[in-house]
């Protein structure tokens, strides 16, 4: 019994000496974590396969995507100009659709309907501030929205559903950041809206060049 106790005491003292002398073995360091693989791109686009719609601001083109495959596009679009750029992000979401939406800010500038709210047909809103895909002139810069010709606007309106992911990127930046191994390098939207919730702010803020003299939208909203 005495021998066992003495052995225990000596073991404890020896253990303290080892600790005090700095000989306590350090736990083995964990193996460095492997970088996670970047999400794959939808073929032919600068957006990932999770997107339902992709917009490249560099080339002013857009695509519809389903199950990681392009189902329409690329099509010509125009985006924001005059100091009102279209917001960039990987996590934008469709939160509202309105076929016959009229701008609350922009007004028709000439013709028999001068002064009336500018039409934004087939609007699919995907970012706070009233940013939407809608029928418009792809040759004219918007005030933040994405202009599509009428046939494409109808396709976007019919295909995209509430909650679908929209990615708006610059392909040049996307490519450069992917070469560095950076996942989703561009700043995503921080806006989270419930389905059907009306955004704060203005729609396609104040683009005043709309002309509806022939009864159809010029798409300058």
Point out the residues that are catalytic.
134, 145
Q: Are 207 and 91 in contact (CB under 8 A)?
A: no
Strands 89-93 and 165-169: antiparallel
Residue from 178, 122, 185 nearest 148 by CA: 122
SS3 97: strand
Residue from 8, 209, 9 nearest 111 by CA: 209
Residue from 147, 141, 101 nearest 121 by CA: 101
Buried b (16+ CB within 10 A) or exposed e, 54-65: bbbbeebbbbbb
* Pairwise CA distance, residues 150 & 40, whole Å: 31
């Amino acid at each position: 019994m005495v021998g066992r106790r003495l052995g225990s005491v000596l073991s404890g003292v020896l253990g303290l000496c080892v600790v005090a002398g700095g000989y306590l073995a350090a736990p083995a360091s964990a193996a460095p974590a492997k970088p996670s693989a970047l999400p794959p791109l939808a073929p032919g686009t600068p957006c990932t396969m999770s997107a339902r719609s992709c917009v490249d601001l560099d080339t002013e083109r857009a695509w519809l995507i389903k199950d990681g495959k392009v189902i329409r596009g690329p099509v010509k679009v125009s985006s924001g100009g005059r100091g009102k750029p279209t917001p960039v992000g990987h996590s934008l979401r469709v939160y509202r659709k309105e076929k016959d939406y009229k701008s609350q800010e922009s007004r028709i500038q000439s013709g028999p309907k001068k002064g009336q709210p500018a039409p934004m047909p087939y609007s699919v809103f995907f970012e706070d501030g009233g940013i939407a895909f809608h029928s418009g002139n792809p040759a004219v810069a918007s005030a933040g929205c994405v202009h599509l010709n009428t046939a494409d606007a109808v396709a976007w309106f019919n295909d995209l559903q509430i909650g679908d992911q929209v990615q708006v990127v610059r392909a040049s930046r996307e490519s450069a950041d992917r070469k560095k191994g950076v996942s989703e390098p561009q700043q995503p939207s921080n806006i989270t809206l419930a389905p059907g919730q009306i955004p704060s702010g203005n729609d396609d803020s104040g683009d005043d060049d709309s002309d509806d003299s022939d009864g159809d939208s010029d798409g300058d909203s």
